[in-house]
Amino acid sequence: MNATTGYVILAAIVLVVAALVSWRRRGPQRLPLIIYVIGVALVWAVILGVVWSLGNTALFQRFALVGWGFALGMLAMYIAVHVYRA
pLDDT in tens, 20-43: 776 666 665 656 777 777 788 888
Alpha-carbon distance of 49 to 46, in angstroms, equals: 5
* Residues of the chain predicted below pLDDT 50: none
Distance of CA 69 to the CA centre of its chain: 10
Exposure string for 53-67, b = 16+ CB within 10 A, e = fewer:
eeeeeeebeebbeeb
CB atoms within 10 A of CB 73: 10
Burial of 8 (0-12, 13-18, 19+ CB in 10 A): buried
Q: What is the pTM of this model?
A: 0.58
